Amino acid sequence: MSHCNVVYKISCEDCNASYVGQTKRKLQTRVKEHRNDINKKFGSPSVISTHRLESGHEFRWGHVVILDEESSYKRRLVSEMVNIKRQVKPLNLQSDTQFLSEEYLTVLVSLTSALGCDLLFSYFVLSTT
């Protein structure tokens, strides 16, 4: 987990909830912050900590999935938004995807399945280079 500049997914062990995030830092460092957030004394708990506290569930800390590797911050944010929308039960806040139109995502998903390729990422990589 020493990867940097990634979009990642942390899944709940006990249900199909998942959290998608992005970081330019080492993934291992970011995952450790998520895991330890539940112990902090000040501030609001993260959505992962809230899920852990309210449900008693635990997360697959040792099985974090890298969904994308991207050095460009803007492309990483777009990839994060697309991947949040793809989750069955995302824990992410709605504001994490506020700049990705539902209509736009629907068109990309339809084209992706019709053409059999991942246009969601191909489009963003080509259009932002």
pLDDT, tens digit (0-9, with 9 covering 90-100), for 65-119: 999 999 999 889 888 988 888 889 999 986 666 666 677 667 766 666 665 555 5
Q: What is the pLDDT of residues 20-68, one digit of tens each?
A: 999 999 999 999 999 999 999 889 999 999 999 999 999 999 999 999 9
Whole-prediction pTM = 0.78
Residue 127 resides in a domain: no
d(CA 40, CA 116): 45
- For the chain, what is the domain count? 1
Classify 115 as helix, strand or coil: helix
Residue 58 resides in a domain: yes
Residue 57 resides in a domain: yes
pLDDT confidence of residue 125: 45
Task: Show the domain range for 34.
Answer: 4-115
